[in-house]
Amino acid sequence: MTTRSTPMKVFSGIQPTGDLHLGNYVGALANWVKMQDDYDETIYCVVDLHAMTIPYDVREFHAARLQTAKILLAVGIDPTRSLLYYQSQVPQHAELAWILGTITGIGQLERMTQYKEKADKAGQNLGLFSYPVLMAADILVHRVHAVPVGDDQTQHLELTRDLAERFNSRFAELFPLPERITPEIGARVMSLQDPMSKMSKSDPNVNSRILLVDEPDAIAKRIRTAVTDSETTVAYDWDRKPGISNLLEIFSFFSGRKIDDLVDEYAEGGYGRFKEAVAEAVIDGLTPIRTRYKQLDDAEVAHIMERGALDARARAERSMVEIRKAVGLAGY
């Protein structure tokens, strides 16, 4: 762990989609694991309240919460080193979201691009509209210093910083302004069937993605049938060869080798040989995760999440005591 004069605290959350895939792992979860060594405090949350902003099946939702928690543990989130819990079990998140909502401008929320995109697909509702305020509360309730975010979340982090500054100026200097962490490892993983689009659970084509708990045969099949091009030379060129470039990034991540080295080795010999090597690297990388996932007992995971929520409530309440006092809600 890096030694600092001021402890560095990091927060990140993930929605309980259940079927987490390579894009989730390469783009986020692998970095979550690494940050446990790089920062003094790491706080990870299954943000189930956020997932309620679009229509859902109750049984599937309940199962997805547990499955997501199990995968986080399986990839290497250590509950003895990181705070891990369900957002809904820490009511201070929602309480702070209400307080922050009173200093949030409607215009700011209307400009959120993700709201427009999701509202077009799932319909408008208040929860979806105020989603960024709850996201800000998720971060600020723990007074974290940094947040790992992708390009699609930058706008939300900017709102969080704006609200922290507004609160500090209007009431009391309580919140640090969280900085953006740009992940050191990982890349954007694209669909195996449409390499110009991100890998997504919502894609109706199951061959477009590899789930973290997929069996080796399924992984090999999906890489073997990945869309490439009509040529036979392996080269890293997103304009001309997006499919091959996507597979090279995946291969580089799981093998730990540089893309240039992989291109030198597999440039000739055809796509079949190359895809076989990619599949082998991915299978080797995901096997420990799948094995650990199968070993985890549901009751044990539920207990881990309950313990995490108990700790998270205590920490969040210490913050809320000061926040309530600052806004005039403390005492009689």
Catalytic residues: 118, 198, 201
Measured CA to CA, the distance from residue 292 to residue 87 in angstroms comes to 24
| Alpha helix ranges (H) inside 202-269 | 216-224, 242-255, 259-266
Measured CA to CA, the distance from residue 227 to residue 144 in angstroms comes to 41
Measured CA to CA, the distance from residue 126 to residue 159 in angstroms comes to 18
User: Per-residue b/e over 265-283, b at no fewer than 16 CB within 10 Å?
Assistant: ebeeeebeebbebbbbbbb
Strand partners, 84: 44
Query: In Å, how far are 117, 179, 180, 210, 222 from 205, measured between CA atoms?
Result: 21, 37, 33, 11, 11
Q: Which two tokens stand for residue 122?
A: 């799932």
Cα–Cα nearest to 44, from 56, 31, 26: 31
| Alpha helix ranges (H) inside 76-196 | 92-101, 106-110, 113-122, 126-129, 131-140, 154-170
Measured CA to CA, the distance from residue 154 to residue 85 in angstroms comes to 24
Which burial class, exposed, middle or buried, applies to 293 when counting CB atoms under 10 A from its CB (0-12, 13-18, 19+)? middle
Measured CA to CA, the distance from residue 120 to residue 107 in angstroms comes to 18
Query: In Å, how far are 95, 295, 309 from 175, measured between CA atoms?
Result: 16, 40, 22
